Structure 1
Amino acid sequence: MNTRGRDLVTSNSLNGNVIQFRELLRLLTRRLGVLDKSELPCCGITYSQCHTLVEIGRKKCLSINELAALLGLDKSTMSRTVNTMVRNGLVAREPHPEDRRYVKISLTDAGNRVLADIESRMTDYYLNIYQSIPQDKREQVLESLELLVHTIKSECCC
Structure 2
Amino acid sequence: MENLREIFQIMARRFGFLNKNCCSVGGSEISLTQSHILYEIDRQHQPSMQQIAETLGIDITTFSRQVQSLIKMNLVQKTPAPEDKRVQILSLTIEGKYVAKTIDEQMNLFLNEVFSHMNDFEKETVIRSIKLLNDAMSKSSMCCGNMQG
Is TM (by shorter chain) over 0.5?
Answer: yes
**How far is 1:61 from its partner?**
2.0
Residue by residue over 1:42-71, the C-alpha shift from the partner in whole angstroms, topping out at 9 and shown as x without a partner, is 331111110000000111421111011111
- Residue correspondences, number: 139
CA shift in 2, pair 1:132/1:35, >3 Å: closer
Could you tell me how far apart the structure 1 residues matched to 2:121 and 2:39 are?
A: 31
More helix by share: 1
Asked whether the equivalents of residues 89 and 110 of structure 1 are also in contact (C-alpha less than 8 Å), the reply is yes
Aligned to 1:57: 42
Aligned to 2:127: 142
What TM-score, normalized to structure 2? 0.84
Aligned partner of 2:12 among 17, 29, 43: 29
**How far is 1:41 from its partner?**
4.8
Aligned partner of 2:92 among 107, 120, 143: 107
Cα RMSD (Å) of the superposition? 2.0
Which segment is superposed worse, 93-102 or 131-140?
131-140
Aligned to 2:24: 42
Higher relative contact order (CA 8 A, sep 6+): 2
Q: Give the secondary-structure state (helix, strand or coil) at the position aligned to 1:127.
A: helix
- Percent same amino acid among aligned pairs? 30
What TM-score, normalized to structure 1? 0.80
More strand by share: 2
Q: Given the alignment of the two structures, is residue 67 of structure 1 paired with residue 46 of structure 2, yes or no?
A: no
CA shift in 2, pair 1:96/1:75, >3 Å: same
